[in-house]
Structure 1
Amino acid sequence: MAKGWENIARYQPRVTKLLTNSIEKKRLAHAYLLEGKKGTGKKEMSLVFAKSYFCENLIDYQPCENCKNCKRIQSGNHPDVHLLEPDGLSIKKWQIQALQEEFSKSGVESNKKVYIISHADKMTTNAASSLLKFLEEPNANTIAVLLTEQVHQIISTILSRCQVLSFQPLPPQAIKDELTKLEIPADLATLVSHVTNDIEEALEISRDDWFAEARLKVIKLYEVLTTRKGQAPIYIHTQWMSHFNDKEKQDIGIDLLLYLYKDLLSMQIGNEEQVIFKDLFPQFRQHALQTTQRSVIENITSILEAKKRLHANANPQLLMEHLVLTLQEG
C-alpha cells in the first residue's frame, strides 16, 4: 500500500493538492476542519500533515517517515502533537481547557504544536466556546485540525475560523481494490464495496461469516422467488428470520435484495459492468428476458418501500412476508 500523501491522494486528490501546496509554500492556516463520511481518510491525513509539519528531513511536502519526529507521531507519543477524542459521548469543557494550558506553554522541543480534535461536532456548548477563544487568538506556529462526520453540527463561529476541507466518499472500486489486495474473494469484495465506503469496516464485514451467509440467504430467496414462487413466504419463516434476527441485520438483508434486483435491471438496460452479483450472470440473463423493465422497477420500488416501513418499526416478519408476496407477483 502506498504511504503518506500518495495513499490519500488516490482517493482524495483535491484536498491532498490543497494541503501539500500550502506545505510547500509555507502558507499554512492556523485551523483546518476536515469533514466527510467515516472512513474517508480524515484522521490519516491529519497525522500525515503533522509529520510534514514536524519532519526533520522534509522533501518538498513529503515526510521522511524515518526521523525521530515522524516515528513518534506514527506511534502516538510526540509531545507536541495532541489527539483529542470524546470523553464518553461528548468532548467536555475540561478537555479543551487542558488543551489551552498546553497552548500557553512553549513547545517541548520547538515552538510548533498541532492539535487534532476528533469528532469535533461532539463538543459541548461550553467546550465549543472555549475552543473558539483559541481560534480567535491563535498562537504562532500552533495548528488546530478538527475532524467531523457532521459538519452541519459545527457552530458557524468555529466554521468561519477554519479552512474547511471536504472529503469525498470512497468509490466502490477503491474499496474493492483494497479488499482484493487482502485476498478477499472477488464476489464478496464487490458486494461489500457497495455496503460501506469505510475500508476498515469493509474488511471487517468481509471477514464476518454472518455476512457471507447473508449473501447466500439473499441469493436463495431470489431463486425461490423466480423458480418456486409459492414457497417464498415459507422460506421467510424457516430460513430468513432466524438469520436476519434484529433490525440492523434486517436492514442489511433488504439492502442486499435491493442490489440484486438493481443488477437485474442493469442487465436489462445493457449495463452489465455495473452488476454486483456477477456470479448470477446466467440467471440474470435468463430472467432479464422473462420479465419487463417496468416489472423490475416496480419490484425495486416495493423493496424501497419495505425498507422505509422497517425504519418506521413495522413488524419485520409480516413486512418480509408481504414483500415476497408482492415480488413473486412481479
Structure 2
Amino acid sequence: MFCEEVVGQPEALGLLQRALETGRIAHAYLFAGPDGVGKKTLALCLARALNCLDLDNKPGSFAPCGRCLSCRKIACGNHPDVKVVSPDGVSVRIDQIREIKKEMSYRPYEGRYRVWILEDCDKMTEQAANSTLKVLEEPQERSVFILLTSNVLSLLPTIVSRCQVVRFNPVGAAVISGLLRERYAIPAEKARLLAFLCHGSVGKAVGWATGRIPMPPRDEVIALVGGFLSPLGPGSKPGAILRAAEALEKRKDDLDEILDLLEDWYRDLMIVCEAAHHHETGHGATHEREADELSKALVVNLDKLETLEEQARVCSTERAAKSIGVIEATRQSIRRNANVRLALENMLFTLFPGV
C-alpha cells in the first residue's frame, strides 16, 4: 500500500492505490469523514506519491520514498507545487481561493503535479464556495485539488458533484489500541482507554498519548456525575445545578469533548446496571459470569469500575439510557446555536431531577 501512515481506512487507501496504478488521477477529490481519521495525512501522502522523484527509478511502485528532495519538501511544507490552504480565522476566504486560481495558470515548478489541499472546506464563505466551484469547473492539466471536510452536508451539492468523494470512517478501537502499543509503546490498559475515549479519531488518541494534546477532563466529569448522584453530594439543588452549568459554559472549547465523556460514562453505567440486574434476577452462575465478562469488554472507563458499580446502585438501566439521549439532544441543540448556558442548565436539571 502506498501510505502506511494511515490505519483503518482500507477503502480510501484502495481507491487511491488503484488511481495511481492506472494513472487515472481525478482532478478533484473530496475526503469526507470525522476529524482525526487520516484525511490530511492521506492527502499529503498522495501529494508525495504524485511528485516523488524516486518513483521514476522504480517502475510499478507507487509508495513515495519519503527521502528524496520532493518528499522532504512536502513533509516540511515548503514544496512550491504542494499547498495546504487552511481557514483564515474561522473561515476560508475568497482571497485564498483567488490566489489558487492565479497559481493554476502556471505549470508545476518542480514536480509532476500541482496539488492544493483545502482543509475544513465546509467553512468556506459563500463567496469562497462559489469561487471554488468555478475552479473545479475548469480543471487544469496536472493540477489536483483535495478538499477535506468533516461535514459534507454543509458543502454546495454542486461542489460535491464535481469531486471524487473518498469516504473516511471512525477507526476501530482495537486498531487504535494496537497502533498506540506498537508505535508509541503505550501500556495496554492506557492504550485501551485512549482508544475508546477518542471515538475513532486516531489523531486525538495519538495526540493524547504523546502529550501533544491535553487529555480530556475525565476525572472532572466523573466527579460531576458522582457529586449529584451521591447521597452526600449537593443532589439536585438549583444553586448547585446552576453553578455546574456556569462552569461547563466556561469550557466552551472542550464542551464537545465533555459531552462525549458524559455519554461514555452513562453508557458505562447502563452496562453495569444491566450486569447488576442479571445478578439480582439469578440467571445462574454461568450466565452471570458471561454478563460480567461482556460488561468488562464493553465498559470504556474500566479503571473506574468500582465507582461505576457504586453509582449503579442509585441509577437504573432506563435512567442511564435516557440520560444518553438527553446529552446528545443538548449537543445537537448547541450546534444549532441554542443559548449554551440555558441548554446546559436544562440538561443538568433533566439528568438530575428532583428539585
TM-score range, shorter chain: 0.7 to 0.9
**2:176–2:205 contact (8 Å) kept in structure 1:** yes
Amino-acid identity (%): 28
Matched with 1:277 is: 301
Matched with 2:195 is: 193
Q: Distance in 2 between matches of 1:82 and 1:278?
A: 43
Matched with 1:13 is: 10
Deviation of 1:11 (Å): 0.9
In the alignment, which of 12, 25, 28 is matched to residue 31 of structure 1?
28
Q: Distance in 1 between matches of 2:346 and 2:117?
A: 48
In the alignment, which of 44, 49, 52 is matched to residue 52 of structure 1?
49
Deviation of 1:140 (Å): 1.1
Q: Distance in 1 between matches of 2:109 and 2:17?
A: 26
The structure-2 alpha-carbon separation of the partners of 1:317 and 1:230, relative to structure 1 and needing over 3 Å to count, comes to farther
Matched with 2:287 is: none
Deviation of 1:297 (Å): 2.5
Matched with 1:108 is: 109
- RMSD (Å) for aligned C-alpha atoms: 3.7
How many residues of Structure 1 are paired with residues of Structure 2 in the alignment? 315
Q: Could you tell me which amino acid in structure 1 is paired with residue 104 of structure 2?
A: F
Matched with 1:300 is: 321
**1:187–1:277 contact (8 Å) kept in structure 2:** no
Matched with 2:217 is: 211
Deviation string 1:178-229 (CA, Å, 9 cap, x unpaired) is: 44454556555444433333233335556547725336626855xx95xxx5
Report the secondary structure of 1:82's partner residue. strand
Matched with 1:75 is: 76
Q: Distance in 2 between matches of 1:235 and 1:183?
A: 43
**1:107–1:113 contact (8 Å) kept in structure 2:** yes
Deviation string 1:18-51 (CA, Å, 9 cap, x unpaired) is: 1011101111111111111111111000000001
Deviation of 1:258 (Å): 0.7
The structure-2 alpha-carbon separation of the partners of 1:89 and 1:314, relative to structure 1 and needing over 3 Å to count, comes to closer
Q: Distance in 2 between matches of 1:259 and 1:161?
A: 41
Deviation of 1:251 (Å): 3.3
Q: Distance in 2 between matches of 1:316 and 1:159?
A: 35
Deviation of 1:128 (Å): 2.3
**1:214–1:253 contact (8 Å) kept in structure 2:** no
Q: Distance in 2 between matches of 1:176 and 1:35?
A: 23
Deviation string 1:95-125 (CA, Å, 9 cap, x unpaired) is: 1111111110122125521111111122222
**Normalization by structure 1: what TM-score?**
0.78
Q: Which runs of 5+ in 1 are unaligned?
A: none
Matched with 2:100 is: 99
In the alignment, which of 264, 267, 271 is matched to residue 275 of structure 2?
267
**Normalization by structure 2: what TM-score?**
0.73
The structure-2 alpha-carbon separation of the partners of 1:150 and 1:242, relative to structure 1 and needing over 3 Å to count, comes to closer
Deviation of 1:89 (Å): 1.9
Q: Distance in 1 between matches of 2:130 and 2:156?
A: 10
In the alignment, which of 240, 245, 248 is matched to residue 247 of structure 2?
245
